[in-house]
């Protein structure tokens, strides 16, 4: 930033110095010529009416004035030029009424303008007015001053850029150094948020939010691994025990129990693989589906412990992956069938631009404070663990992930005495 500032402004200032050095002398001399010309014409006009009895008073800002005859005789002048020879030998020629000249002497240079007055009281004369050139016009000091000033200005700009950008980036450097000290072993640390309320402060706040989400994700991942290990260890241990007993006793009941444990182990592994695909954002093919017909097919295909009452509105269309939506409905039905007492109720309806599926059961219910926790992986309510025959705690989390992957939601809502899970998905265009 400092180099860019110095180069850019240095180029601009250099161009400015060149323009001033080239145009100032020309413009300044033109202004002097114009001022001297006004004074000369005023003097010529006045000597056409009367003769000066003494020195010529200053006029139009000019103090050096002379009236000179064609043969070079001074007939009138101001006091500072009394007894002095003519300012210049230049005379109007070729029918011109005025003449310009630049006269340099030891005490400086003069810009002289003469105006012809053929019918003055002195006869044919030329009225001269002269102005001294400023010192800067007749020396090389102006370019030197401008160059020195530009160097100082560019140096000040470079220092200001270095200091200013450094001050701006200092909080960013602190954020970087703080992040460098944060490792995967300890994600509880946060970066310092400056009190400037600017973009850097918002950057630090965003970094802290990201660290908080990362810390939460790491904790959830660690908890998931621990719980998955626990869930897998239970059927594996039971399977090993029964296999060992079966090898010694060859009891048919032990072999059947071992088969159940192996089946449960397989279900858990399949659930974990599906959740990994959902977490990775892998999408299957999508098609137009009638949600009511899909629910009826799943109810008819899946034998349950409890009878199911259906209330289906026809023509509720959605777009989605058939296999995953079937898995979603299966998980909801399995959950209701596992915890219900006497019956399961399924209702499919359209609600504006949404397709709604309600799955209710008359089981023990879900406390309001636990309605979000049931969607966490491997979470099962303590009071239902004894009734859980083979559930892994992944059914509802997988169902919610599938719903979200289809742009929908899955929530536990108030259902009075019933446990009511409500799925909402975007409806497809009927055409």
pLDDT in tens, 97-134: 889 998 888 778 889 999 999 888 999 999 999 998 88
Judge contact between 144 and 134, C-beta under 8 A: no
User: What band does 233 get if pLDDT is binned at 50, 70 and 90?
Assistant: low
Q: How far apart are CA 425 and CA 332, in angstroms?
A: 15
pLDDT at 272 over 70: no
Q: What is the pLDDT of residue 388?
A: 46
Q: How far apart are CA 349 and CA 408, in angstroms?
A: 15
Beta strand spans in 13-151 (E): 64-68, 74-77, 98-105, 108-120, 123-132
Q: How far apart are CA 40 and CA 114, in angstroms?
A: 6
Q: Compare 378 and 292 and report the one with higher pLDDT.
A: 292
Sheet with 64-68, edge to edge strand ranges:
74-77, 64-68, 123-132, 108-120, 98-105
Q: What is the pLDDT of residue 193?
A: 84
User: What band does 359 get if pLDDT is binned at 50, 70 and 90?
Assistant: very high
Q: What is the pLDDT of residue 345?
A: 94
Across 207-216, 238-247, 263-272, the highest mean pLDDT is recorded for 207-216
Q: Is the pTM of this model over 0.85?
A: no
Q: What is the pLDDT of residue 387?
A: 41
pLDDT at 383 over 60: no
* Coil, strand or helix at 320: strand
Indicate the helix (H) or strand (E) that contains 349.
strand 344-351
Average pLDDT over residues 128-157: 84
Beta strands 74-77 and 98-105, pairing class: unpaired
Judge contact between 332 and 421, C-beta under 8 A: yes
Share of the chain above pLDDT 70, in %: 81
pLDDT at 391 over 60: no
Judge contact between 121 and 51, C-beta under 8 A: yes
């Amino acid at each position: 930033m400092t180099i860019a500032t110095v180069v850019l402004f240095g180029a601009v200032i250099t161009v400015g110095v060149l323009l001033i050095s080239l145009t100032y002398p020309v413009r300044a001399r033109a202004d002097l010529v114009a001022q001297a010309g006004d004074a000369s014409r005023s003097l010529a006009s006045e000597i056409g009416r009367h003769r000066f009895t003494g020195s010529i008073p200053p006029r139009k800002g000019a103090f050096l004035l002379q009236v000179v005859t064609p043969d070079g005789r001074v007939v009138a002048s101001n006091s500072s030029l009394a007894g002095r020879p003519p300012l210049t030998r230049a005379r109007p020629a070729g029918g011109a009424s005025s003449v310009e000249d630049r006269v340099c002497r030891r005490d400086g240079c003069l810009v002289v303008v003469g105006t012809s007055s053929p019918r003055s009281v002195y006869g044919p004369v030329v009225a001269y007015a002269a102005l001294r050139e400023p010192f800067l016009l007749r020396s090389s000091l102006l370019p030197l001053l401008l160059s020195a000033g530009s160097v100082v200005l560019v140096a000040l700009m470079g220092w200001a850029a270095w200091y200013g950008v450094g001050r701006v980036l200092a909080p960013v450097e602190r954020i970087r150094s703080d992040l460098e000290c944060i490792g995967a072993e300890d994600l509880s640390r946060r970066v310092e948020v400056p009190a400037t309320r600017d973009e850097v402060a918002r950057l630090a706040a965003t970094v802290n939010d990201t660290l908080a989400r990362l810390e939460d994700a790491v904790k959830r991942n660690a908890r998931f691994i621990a719980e998955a290990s626990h869930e897998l260890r239970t059927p594996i241990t039971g399977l090993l025990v029964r296999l060992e007993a079966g090898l010694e006793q060859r009891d048919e009941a032990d072999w059947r129990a071992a088969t159940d444990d192996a089946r449960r182990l397989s279900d858990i592994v399949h659930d974990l693989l599906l959740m990994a695909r959902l977490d990775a954002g892998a999408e299957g093919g999508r098609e137009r589906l009638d949600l009511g017909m899909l629910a009826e097919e799943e109810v008819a295909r899946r034998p349950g412990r409890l009878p199911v009452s259906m209330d289906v509105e026809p023509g509720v269309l959605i777009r989605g992956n058939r296999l995953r939506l079937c898995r979603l409905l299966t998980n909801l039905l399995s959950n209701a069938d596992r915890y219900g007492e006497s019956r399961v109720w399924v209702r499919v309806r359209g609600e504006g631009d949404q397709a709604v599926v309600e799955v209710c059961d008359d089981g023990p219910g879900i406390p309001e404070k636990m309605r979000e926790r049931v969607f966490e992986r491997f979470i099962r309510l303590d009071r239902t663990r004894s009734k859980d025959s083979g559930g892994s705690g992944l059914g509802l989390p997988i169902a919610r992930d599938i719903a979200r992957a289809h742009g929908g939601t899955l929530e536990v809502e108030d259902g009075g005495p019933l446990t009511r899970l409500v799925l909402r998905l975007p409806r497809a265009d009927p055409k």
